[in-house]
A and B are shown apart, each in its own frame.
Chain A
């Protein structure tokens, strides 16, 4: 299989403009003849559905939540990057591009990232016009703050609720199209299979979660904006409902899964408090603008209340190790540094799995009111969860799975290797390389949905010209049958263990063997254990109730079944990538100082995996990463 990324020729800065001109267009009057299915209603899905409908396409949008407004993009706190250079601090499209490529440890596709930086400015314009209440200066002009991995202030924000406000903007645009009848919305409906007819993606099979009804939907193209696979780890900052099912089932239908081992562990999460924990809560990275991260220098001081550890006995390890970025070092670096100090036995809090995030200095310098103004909601949230007041005692934080850079492989047009299947937002792999910088996820989701997909999908329609099949096509019937069989199988097991307990076990295994630091032996163990666990799942899972009504246990078990399969591919990728880069840290490949050691000679490529059959190792396809403008340097934040 030849993985052609279809990157346009010409100089980097002109590729997108040139490509926009080269792409074929669909006549406005013909657009309504094309039906598009958009699965997922987050930033990427909602913005794509709304924009495609505005153009005139007939759109069907699906989400498993009760309303498109609840997609997990809503939980993004900190902000969204754009190369506006409103602060006059030297920002530019090229700098945003460079920071993102470097932040991604030179494992992303140059042309995609450059385009992302280019359209970042349009996103801010679009969102402001939609009424997103971005933070303002007293002049009425937009305010910015700085974020990890950048030395310029380019992050736009709406208090600590930027994701919510951007999502509501997209949701409102989507709602407008729903009222105009151009989008048909299917809430509480879950995609359970992708339908491929004669090599082209032509529809999905979905289950109405309220009635259990299984329906087939045919279209001219399918867009997946179904988010990441962080919940494979059971505990993550993702919402409870986030799952890999849509992308995994697409993968089983032939779409390649790229770089699944690139998982981002976010450094500022609230530590785990016990076995009952259902999810982890992120505290925005923006806190690191004013908070200082430290642990005691000596193990003996760890159990002491933080106030009793004198300044001289504290180790502000990020400031010490990375003086130029300090507490704003990128996420992968900060997380690993936290793990390192905890491994040395200098962690604080229950189980020694935590570090302090201390605001005492900032409060002294700026006053509690300024800190409250900036991060009030985060401090409140911290207090609700831990019962501690972050203004008085330092917060306790620990890294947690947060974002997944890997995803379905897509070309420059955001189309997967399956023609007619487009993948946007976190669900694709394209822009963040091995590590995503803060405030870039919102940027990518909206870039894909508002400004890239609406162009490229038209090009596909205008050039492919494959008629839309009816849902009575045998491929639809077969997929429907498969979906029904899987559901019956799940309900027939009637075993002894709940899906939650099996999922938790899988998550623990992955966190230990394929988490912040990985090694060959650990990954081998995981690859041995996962099939066993999967077998246990299918023999011993207990799903009560039936399939003809709302059955949350059944929905969840179906998702866990997919995590069980997908986890194996994740570990295969981690094992295969014999280097350390970004979110993927292999203990065998590190410098003497414990920093990640890349292997550009052998691994400057995208690893795209092709699913085979149950129990068989996936087949690897490589797409080389060619850097025309950027020199691949060693990433240093010292």
Chain B
């Protein structure tokens, strides 16, 4: 099939950006969205033009490097699917596809479709860990974790840090990302010791980075490639309230 792409091109953060139209010819159903872009880039290169810059790495939906807002929806709107796992069989011949980068003040644009998501790293650095130094651990079975707790922690821990939750949120809020990490660690018995400090530090850093606030629209969970639930945000709100009331 043949497609028309409207792609956001921007040389760097300072330069003004614009949409550029290009053609994707002979696209196959079995191609992934990024493979389709690879083919377009090969074509651009062959014509001596600069290829479209976009992020990707593992291409199996787990590293969280790929982004792209496709026709107005981060990762293209297939349930539980990252852009790299989105396949062209979901598009129609002759369609025009608009491709934009993640848009958020906290994710400054780097080039074309690439943004800087280091804000997420700084939030993790603020407290998204359990302070277990290497070598000091007791036997792994010394602390039992009830299966439902372990399962819930895993549900939250599945986050790949892609930032689609921020990209889709009308307020560019990072609550789902932060809540997922807070919940993963706060749910587990191993993480209880630092529970209050963790939620406080991570929320403070999130606020500092310039993300918006949660208005509970639930669009984040709708686009999350790992289908992380909005309920974790409620849990983080609860943990933060407890930490606040304790005044620690």
Q: Do A and B touch directly, given a CB cutoff of 8 Å in the complex?
A: yes
List residues of A whose CB falls within 8 A of some B CB: 47, 50-51, 54, 65-72, 74-75, 84, 86, 122, 124-131, 133-142, 158-159, 161, 164-165, 168, 171-173, 175-176, 178-179, 185, 187, 210, 237, 239-241, 273-274, 276-279, 281-282, 380-381, 384-387, 450-451, 454, 496, 498, 500-501, 542, 544-545, 549-550, 552-553
Closest Cβ–Cβ distance, residue A144 to chain B (whole Å): 11
In the assembled complex, how far is the CB of residue B158 from the closest CB belonging to chain A, in whole angstroms?
6
CB distance A131 to B191 under 8 Å? yes
In the complex, the answer to whether A241 meets B150 with C-beta atoms within 8 Å is: no
List 7 contacting pairs A-B, 8 Å CB cutoff, sorted by A: A67-B117, A131-B188, A278-B34, A381-B60, A450-B135, A454-B134, A500-B42
Q: Find out whether the CB atom of B53 lies under 8 angstroms from the CB atom of A550.
A: yes
Within 8 Å by CB of A171, from B49, B124, B154, lies B124
Nearest CB to that of B89 among chain A residues? A387
The answer to whether the Cβ of B85 comes within 8 Å of any Cβ in the partner chain is: yes
Write out the residue numbers on chain B whose beta carbons fall within 8 Å of the beta carbon of A136: 144-147, 150-151
A384 touches B87 (CB 8 A): yes
Question: A451 — which chain B residues lie within 8 A by C-beta?
Answer: 134-135
Q: Chain A nearest CB: distance from B209 CB in Å?
A: 14
Chain A nearest CB from B1 CB (Å) reads: 13
Binds A, one of B61-69, B164-172, B211-219: B61-69
Chain B residue nearest to A272 (CB atoms) is: B30
Stretch at the interface among B93-101, B125-133, B228-236: B125-133
Given the complex of chains A and B, what is the CA–CA distance between A75 and B190 in angstroms? Answer: 25
- A54-B133, A542-B46, A553-B51 given; 11 more Cβ-contact pairs under 8 Å: A67-B117, A84-B140, A129-B190, A133-B153, A165-B154, A239-B57, A239-B63, A276-B39, A381-B85, A387-B89, A498-B42
Quote the shortest CB–CB distance from B88 to chain A (angstroms).
10
Does B128 lie within 8 Å of A542, measured CB to CB? Answer: no
Question: Smallest CB–CB gap between A291 and chain B, Å?
Answer: 19
Known interface pairs A239-B58, A500-B42; A74-B140 also in contact (CB < 8 Å)? no
Contact B184 A131 (CB under 8 A): yes
Binary contact track B1-29/A, C-beta < 8 Å → 1, others 0: 00000000001100000000000000011
Main secondary structure of the interface of B (DSSP, over half): loop
Contact A133 B188 (CB under 8 A): yes
The residue from A141, A159, A173, A281 contacting B134, defined by CB atoms under 8 A apart: A173
Q: How far is the CB of B189 from chain A (nearest CB, A)?
A: 9
Do the beta carbons of B147 and A70 come within 8 Å of each other?
Answer: no
Indicate if the CB atoms of A72 and B128 lie closer than 8 Å: no
What CA separation (Å) do A267 and B118 show in the bound complex? 37
Residues of B within 8 A of A161 (CB): 62, 154, 158
Known contacts A384-B85, A387-B89: does B157 contact A276 (CB below 8 Å)?
no
Asked if A175 contacts B121 (CB within 8 A), the reply is yes
Roughly how many angstroms separate A26 CA and B109 CA in the complex, as a whole number? 44
Q: How far is the CA of A364 from the CA of B43 in the complex (A)?
A: 49
A408 vs B219: C-alpha distance when bound (angstroms): 47
B128 contacts across to A, CB distance below 8 A: 172, 175
CB-CB under 8 A from A500, the residues of chain B are 38, 42
Q: Which residues of A contact B137 (CB under 8 A)?
A: 122, 125-126, 128-130
Q: Give the contacting residue for A130; candidates B118, B130, B147; CB below 8 A.
A: B130
**From residue 143 to 185 of chain B, which have CB atoms closer than 8 A to chain A?**
143-147, 150-151, 153-154, 157-158, 160-161, 184-185
Q: Which residues of A are found within 8 Å of B139, using beta-carbon distances?
A: 125
* B110 close to A542 (CB less than 8 A): no
Measured between beta carbons, the chain B residues less than 8 angstroms from A171 are: 124
Do residues A281 and B116 form an inter-chain contact, with CB atoms below 8 A? Answer: no
Query: Is the pair A142, B140 in contact by a Cβ cutoff of 8 Å?
Result: yes
B59 within 8 A of A: yes
- Which of chain B's residues have a CB closer than 8 A to the CB of A380? 80
A247 to B116 Cα, complex, angstroms: 28
Q: Give chain B residues whose Cβ lies under 8 Å from the Cβ of A54.
A: 133-134
The residue of chain A having its C-beta at the shortest distance from the C-beta of B65 within the complex is A70
A44 to chain B, nearest CB (A): 13
* B48 at interface, CB cutoff 8 A: yes
Q: How far is the CA of A278 from the CA of B35 in the complex (A)?
A: 6
Known: A128-B137, A131-B184, A187-B118. A172 touches B129 (CB 8 A): yes
- Tell which of A176, A237, A241 touches B129, judged by Cβ atoms closer than 8 Å: A176
Q: With a CB–CB cut-off of 8 A, which chain A residues contact B130?
A: 129-131, 172
Provide the bound-state CA to CA distance between A460 and B45, in Å. Answer: 48
Structural contact, B30 and A274, CB atoms closer than 8 A: yes
For B61, list chain A residues within 8 Å (CB): 381, 384
The verdict on A142 contacting B147 (CB below 8 Å), with A279-B59, A384-B87, A553-B51 known, is no
| B87 close to A385 (CB less than 8 A) | yes
Report the Cα distance A383→B138, complex, angstroms: 41
When distances are taken between beta carbons in the complex, the residues of chain B under 8 Å from A124 are 140
Tell me which residues from 66 to 103 in chain B have a Cβ below 8 Å from any Cβ of chain A: 78, 80-81, 85-87, 89
Partner among B81, B118, B147, B153 whose Cβ is within 8 Å of the Cβ of A384: B81
